[in-house]
Amino acid sequence: MRANHVHVGVRDLPAAIGWLERVWELKPVFQIPQMAIFAVGDFSLFVDAEVHDSRVTVGFVSDDCDRDYGRVVARRGDCERARGQALWLPCRLRQRPRSSNV
pLDDT digits (tens, 9 = 90+) for 8-67: 999 999 999 998 998 888 999 999 999 999 998 889 999 999 999 998 877 777 788 778
Of 3.30.720.120, 3.90.1150.10, 1.10.3720.10, 3.40.720.10, the CATH number of 1-52 is: 3.30.720.120
- 93 bridge partner residues: 79
Coarse DSSP helix, strand, coil percentages of the chain, rounded to the nearest 5 percent: 20, 25, 50
pTM of the predicted structure, to 2 decimals: 0.71
Cα dist from 6 to 45, 55, 76, 78, 102, whole Å: 5, 12, 24, 23, 30
**pLDDT at res. 101:** 42
- At residue 19, what is the residue type? W
Residues in the chain: 102
Closest CA to 49 of 31, 76, 27, 24: 31
More confident residue, 92 or 48: 48
**pLDDT at res. 36:** 97
Domain ranges of the chain: 1-52, 62-92
